[in-house]
């Protein structure tokens, strides 16, 4: 039974280029949301090789084998694998996928890639529990990581950078449909999008913006689920993450200014700052002047936090909700109890 008009936040983290800490901020957002008592799912849609399955100590669901090969999404798992079992399953999958056969069944463990390649619109009974991983040190977040396996990355590179990216966004919409239908307590979905402000990333932001729009009659794109049928209001919080690097900032500022009319809640956040954020705002204004564009860019700033955000993927494989991480809640627009 659905809760009457629940509000579901759609938090999208995108960037002009990689290496700006986008994934770290997405993880921080998801963990802070869970800390505040909300049911949150983090979708690792950055299918370029930097999987959260590598960066975090995640445990995969123990999906059931399928007699035809691979595994079955149709049977909900009764438990999650241990970290050791997860690594063993990942290694076995990588070995099995060394054979060049895009049509072969995907071995476990399940990744987001499998759902996007599959046909969720034709099989709406997929249990959400068969998709979501959990952190080894339970943190209340449901994770759906992308695959870092070479055979999957080859397919992802082809699809993300060509017309198939639109098909993957349609599959992503069906995934949202499943999450909302099967998790009546769901309150937030966090997307870690691939770097680059085009193709799949831009289409995903457009999808979320479409859901959050309140004015007018929403047109139902062909092949997409009627997500509006769910008793839910959608709230879009798109975050464009940049750095203080001049080239990165210039691209982000131009994209922000050219798209803020289409995505009115779009925010620009500069990460890993070692200088006052006002310096970046001044530089952003100079970029606008050079482009002949009007207005100001309200950049928000996150300082350089090497012992917390900077340690997630290279040392701790987790994110402690320390005082400085909880202070990020203001920038990430999350209300966390003290």
Report mean pLDDT in 10-residue bins for the chain, 338 residues: 73 94 96 96 93 95 85 85 96 85 79 83 72 95 95 84 74 90 93 92 90 65 76 91 92 91 93 91 88 83 91 89 92 83
**Would 241 be classed as within a structural domain?**
no
**Would 292 be classed as within a structural domain?**
no
Element (H, E) at 191: strand 186-192
Q: How many domains are there within the chain? A: 1
pLDDT at 218: 57
- How many helices (H) and strands (E) the chain has is answered by 11, 11
**Would 127 be classed as within a structural domain?**
yes
CATH of the domain at 158: 3.40.50
Q: 155: closest CA among 142, 144, 143, 167?
A: 167
**Would 133 be classed as within a structural domain?**
yes
Element (H, E) at 235: strand 232-242
Q: 231: closest CA among 295, 282, 291, 181?
A: 181
pLDDT at 69: 77
* Residue 274: C-alpha distances to residues 242, 244, 258, 299, 302 (Å): 13, 8, 27, 15, 9
- C-alpha–C-alpha distance, residues 244 and 34, integer Å: 30
Segments forming the whole domain that contains residue 151: 11-236+305-332
Sign of CA dihedral 291, 293, 295, 301: negative
pLDDT at 124: 59
Per-residue buried b or exposed e for 180-200, using 16+ beta carbons within 10 Å of the residue's own CB: bbebeebbbbbbbbbbbbebb
Entry pTM:
0.94
pLDDT at 288: 85
**Would 49 be classed as within a structural domain?**
yes
**Would 261 be classed as within a structural domain?**
no
- C-alpha–C-alpha distance, residues 66 and 248, integer Å: 46
**Would 315 be classed as within a structural domain?**
yes
pLDDT at 49: 87
Using CB atoms within 10 Å of the CB of residue 251, give its burial: 0 to 12 exposed, 13 to 18 middle, 19+ buried.
middle
- C-alpha–C-alpha distance, residues 281 and 137, integer Å: 39
Token readout for 138 is 């339970």
Query: Tokens 């076995």, residue?
Result: 92
- C-alpha–C-alpha distance, residues 207 and 12, integer Å: 11
pLDDT at 315: 85
- C-alpha–C-alpha distance, residues 224 and 104, integer Å: 26
């Amino acid at each position: 039974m659905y809760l009457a008009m629940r509000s579901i936040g759609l938090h999208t983290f995108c960037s002009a280029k990689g290496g700006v800490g986008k994934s770290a901020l997405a993880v921080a957002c998801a963990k802070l949301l869970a800390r505040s008592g909300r049911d949150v799912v983090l979708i690792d849609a950055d299918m370029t090789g930097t999987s959260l399955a590598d960066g975090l100590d995640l445990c995969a669901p123990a999906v059931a084998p399928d007699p035809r090969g691979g595994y079955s999404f149709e049977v909900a798992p009764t438990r999650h694998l241990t970290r050791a079992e997860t690594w063993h399953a990942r290694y076995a999958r990588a070995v099995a996928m060394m054979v060049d056969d895009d049509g072969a069944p995907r071995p476990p463990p399940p990744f987001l890639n499998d759902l996007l390649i599959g046909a969720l619109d034709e099989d709406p009974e997929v249990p959400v529990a068969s998709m979501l991983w959990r952190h080894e040190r339970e943190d209340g977040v449901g994770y759906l990581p992308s695959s870092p396996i070479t055979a999957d990355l080859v397919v992802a590179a082809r699809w993300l950078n060509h017309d198939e990216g639109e098909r993957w966004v349609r599959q992503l919409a069906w995934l949202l449909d499943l999450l909302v239908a099967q998790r009546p307590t769901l309150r937030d979905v966090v997307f870690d999008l691939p770097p680059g402000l085009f193709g799949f990333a831009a289409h995903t932001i457009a999808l979320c913006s479409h859901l959050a729009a309140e004015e007018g009659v929403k047109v139902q794109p062909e092949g997409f689920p009627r997500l509006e049928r769910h008793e839910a209001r959608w709230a879009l919080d798109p975050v464009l993450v940049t750095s203080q690097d001049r080239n990165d900032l210039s691209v982000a500022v131009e994209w922000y200014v050219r798209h803020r009319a289409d995505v009115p809640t779009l925010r620009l956040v500069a990460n890993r700052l070692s200088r006052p954020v006002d310096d970046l705002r001044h530089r952003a204004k100079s970029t606008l002047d050079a482009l002949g564009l009007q207005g100001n860019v309200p950049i928000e700033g996150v300082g350089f936090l090497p012992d917390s955000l900077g340690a997630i993927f290279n040392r701790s494989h987790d994110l402690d909700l320390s005082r400085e991480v909880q202070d990020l809640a203001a920038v990430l627009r999350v209300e966390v109890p003290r």
